[in-house]
Chains A and B, each alone.
Chain A
C-alpha cells in the first residue's frame, strides 16, 4: 500500500510557508508529517495529512501549485539500528531512495520513503515484514 503525499511548490520568500499552514489551519486540517526541500530560489514542501482531497482543494483555491505523489509509509521501531536494517535490505536489492523523511515519537517512528521503484520496494518491505501503513 502507498499513501498520498501532497507537494507544494514555494518561492523562497519570507512568510510563504506560513501561508500554507494558515490555509490548513483555517480548514481544520492537521499535518501528520512534513519536510521541506530547498533550492536557491524555490522550495518544495511535502506533507502528509488525513484529509488529502480537502487539503488539495483548499490549497489550490488559495493559489498554490500542488501535486500528489504516491509514497510508502512504514512504522519503524524507535531504537538504534531499526532503520538501518530496513535500508540495508533496500540497498541490497538496488532500490534507490529519491528522498525520505521521518518523525519519531515515543516507541515508534513514521518513515516516509519515495523510492525509484515503488512496486519492488513494497515487495521487499513485505518480505521483511515491515510495518507498512
Chain B
C-alpha cells in the first residue's frame, strides 16, 4: 500500500472514530467541545494534532468503564492491568476488537515466519494480563498449533517443548533466559529441542539479550510489542530484518511527541510514543500517551513492508517499572504503606534480576512504638504487607522490615527505587 493510500485510509478511519467517541463518550465530547471541535473538523489524518491527548490518569479518573464507547451488551471480553492506588485499568473489547487484535497479532507471527505447520507454546501469563490470550489468538489465527502453557511450571514446559517438538515460543525475554538456564541444569541442550522462532515482549530487552537467547535456545528472537490500553500484544512486531518493529498503523496510528511541550516531533527523533486506535469500538482512545520513549522511521523495509517502524523502547518518561512483564508504579507501593500505621511513610524498592528472573524487595521501616515484642506478630505483620502488595501489584514482593530511620530520606526527590537489573 502506498503512503498516500495509507494516509487516506487513516484519515477516513480517524473521522469515523471521532464521530464514534463524540457521540458515545462524554469525556471526549467535553474535551472536544472545550477545544471548539466537532467531528466535521477532523477529515484527514493531518487533523489529528487538533485532538486532545488521553493519559493513564484519564483512564483512572473514568474507572471502570467511563471511556467505553460500546454498551455493555456489545462487550464480549474484559482485560485489566494493575493500576495505582488500587484502581486497575479496565479495557472492554467488542467482538470486532477481538478480531482486530487476533489479526494484528497474526500479522506479527506471520512476519516471524510462523505457518500452520508450526507448534507454538505461549508462555505469557493467561488471565487479566493481555499477553497470554493475545499471543494465543494470534498463533491460532495463523493456523499453527497453540499450546497454552502459561507461566509457572518450567519443568513441564521444557518437557512439552522437547516431546512435542515445539517450534515456536512466546514469552518474556527474561523467562526465555530462565528456560535456557533450566534446560541446561536438566542436562538438556538446544539440540534436544526444536525451537526456531521466539516472540518476546512485555518488558524492555536489548540486542545482547537477543543474541544470548538466540544462541542458548537455538532460535530466531523477534520483538512483539503491545499494551493493553491500546489492544495487547500485536501493536507492532519485528520482521526478518530485525530492524525496528512494524506498527499496524491501519489500526493503531502512531505519533512521537515531546513529553514536556506535547508538540509532535519529526520521524527519527526520540520522544514519547502516542497511539490512536483507529478501528477499536469497545474502548477507543484518542492520542493515548504510552510514556514509552522511542523514535519512528518510515520508508520501505528490507522485508518489503511499508508500514512505519518504531525503534526499541529506550526508556520511560514516568517512574513506571516493568517487573516480570507487569507494570509497577512506586506510588502503588506508597499507597499500601500509607494505609498501614505500623510503618513509617518511607520505603525503598530494590529490583534485581536473579537467575534471569526479576525480583522485587520492598524495604519498610517499622514505627518506633508500633512493633510487637512477639516474633510471630512481626512475621504476621510482614505477611500482611506482602499480601496487600501482592493484591495491588499483581506480583509478589519480598518485604524486608527495617529499623526506623534506616532508609535514607532526602529533601526534594528522594530515591525510592534501586533497579539493579543489568539490561546489557
Contacts and interface: CB of A to CB of B under 8 A. Distances in A.
Partners in one complex: yes
Interface of A: 5, 7, 9-11, 37-39, 41-42, 44, 46, 60, 63-67, 69, 98-99, 114
B405 interface: yes
B369 interface: yes
B401 interface: yes
A67 B377 CA distance: 14
B371 A10 contact: no
Contact of B371 (A11, A38, A67): A67
A31 B80 CA distance: 57
A44 B379 CA distance: 12
Interface of A, secondary structure class, is: strand
A64 to B, nearest CB: 7
Given A60-B368, A65-B367, A67-B369, A11 B402 contact: yes
Given A39-B378, A46-B373, 19 more contacts: A7-B373, A9-B371, A9-B403, A11-B402, A39-B375, A39-B379, A41-B400, A41-B401, A60-B368, A63-B403, A64-B403, A65-B368, A65-B369, A65-B371, A65-B403, A67-B369, A67-B373, A69-B373, A98-B374
Contacts of A42: 378, 400-402
Contacts of A11: 401-403, 406
Nearest to B371: A9
Interface in B361-388: 366-369, 371-375, 378-379
21 contacts: A7-B373, A9-B366, A9-B403, A11-B401, A11-B402, A11-B406, A37-B375, A42-B378, A42-B400, A44-B378, A60-B368, A63-B403, A63-B404, A63-B405, A64-B403, A65-B371, A65-B403, A65-B404, A66-B368, A67-B373, A99-B374
A84 B404 CA distance: 40
Interface string B302-326: 0000000000000000000000000
**Could you say which interface size class chain B belongs to?**
10 to 19
A46 B373 CA distance: 8
Interface string B72-108: 0000000000000000000000000000000000000
A60 B369 CA distance: 10
Contacts of A65: 366-369, 371, 403-404
Contacts of B369: 65, 67
B380 to A, nearest CB: 11
B405 to A, nearest CB: 5
A20 B71 CA distance: 65
A89 to B, nearest CB: 23
Nearest to A41: B400
Contacts of B372: 67
Contacts of B374: 98-99, 114
Nearest 10 Cβ contacts at the A-B interface:
A7-B373, A69-B373, A37-B375, A65-B368, A42-B401, A9-B371, A63-B405, A41-B400, A11-B403, A65-B404
Contacts of B366: 9, 65
A11 B405 CA distance: 12
A66 B403 CA distance: 10
Contact of A10 (B368, B379, B403): B403
Contact of B373 (A38, A39, A44, A63): A44
Given A11-B402, A63-B403, A65-B403, A44 B367 contact: no
B90 to A, nearest CB: 37
Interface centre among A11, A60, A99, A114 (most CB of B within 10 A): A11
Q: Most chain-B Cβ atoms within 10 A of its Cβ — which of A5, A41, A65, A99? A: A65
Q: In this complex, which of A9, A66, A99 has the most chain B Cβ atoms within 10 angstroms of its Cβ?
A: A9
Contacts of B375: 37-39, 44, 99
A65 B343 CA distance: 12
Nearest to B372: A67
A69 B369 CA distance: 12
Interface in B316-372: 366-369, 371-372
A6 to B, nearest CB: 9
Contacts of B378: 39, 42, 44
B364 to A, nearest CB: 11
Interface string B381-424: 00000000000000000001111111000000000000000000
B368 to A, nearest CB: 5
A35 B154 CA distance: 44
Contacts of A114: 373-374
A37 B377 CA distance: 12
A11 B372 CA distance: 14
A66 B225 CA distance: 51
A46 B379 CA distance: 17
Contacts of B367: 65
Nearest to B376: A98
